[in-house]
């Protein structure tokens, strides 16, 4: 089901998400389907979008969904950084379409997580995928890209593509 993406200013976006427990496993397929459907709807409307965090659609659980070459489901992810190398980029978000924020992110990241079957997994990320998962991971802790702006002059308006 396509869910509404919570927009900038909604207090729910600033809350810390709860871990998914084994008691939640029955809900996981529905949550993942909602994340997928919502991401596909966003892509259709705006021509963008590679990942979505559960809190963005009102599910206060530590769950990320990424669709690149294939779908990835990250349950209770834990992110770490193998070195201190960072870079600046202009970041956008489905919770504030059309607003771009200049932020600093780590160039590389490691993410430990459980898959949809609760099996432990690990992924090493570099470049744009590292940035993407850092952005989505922040949502789990109630942090938006606007809160990571390099300074108070790091905000830009951009017209989003409406049709693919």
Distances (CA, A) of 78 to 47, 123, 129, 160: 29, 11, 15, 31
The 8-class DSSP code of residue 14 comes to G
Check if 136 is active-site. yes
Please check the confidence at residue 10 and state whether its pLDDT lies above 60. Answer: yes
Per-residue pLDDT reduced to its tens digit, 96-132: 988 999 999 999 999 999 999 999 999 999 999 999 9
Report helix, strand or coil for 139. helix
Per-residue pLDDT reduced to its tens digit, 53-108: 999 999 999 999 999 999 999 999 999 999 999 999 999 999 998 899 999 999 99
Q: Which of 4, 104, 136, 158 is catalytic?
A: 136
User: Whole-prediction pTM value?
Assistant: 0.93
């Amino acid at each position: 089901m396509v869910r509404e993406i919570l927009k900038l200013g909604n207090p729910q976006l600033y809350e810390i998400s709860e871990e998914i427990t084994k008691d939640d496993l029955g809900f996981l397929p529905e949550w993942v389907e909602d994340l997928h459907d919502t991401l596909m709807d966003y892509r259709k409307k705006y021509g963008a979008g590679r990942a979505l965090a559960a809190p963005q659609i009102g599910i206060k659980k530590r769950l990320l969904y990424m669709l690149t070459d294939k779908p990835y489901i990250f349950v209770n992810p834990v992110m770490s950084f193998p070195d201190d190398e960072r870079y600046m980029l202009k970041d956008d978000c489905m919770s504030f379409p059309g607003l771009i924020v200049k932020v600093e992110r780590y160039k590389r990241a490691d993410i430990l997580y459980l898959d949809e079957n609760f099996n432990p997994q690990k992924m090493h990320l570099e470049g744009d995928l590292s940035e993407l998962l850092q952005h989505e991971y922040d949502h789990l802790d109630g942090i938006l890209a606007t809160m990571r702006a390099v300074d108070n002059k790091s905000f830009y308006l951009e017209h989003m593509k409406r049709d693919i």
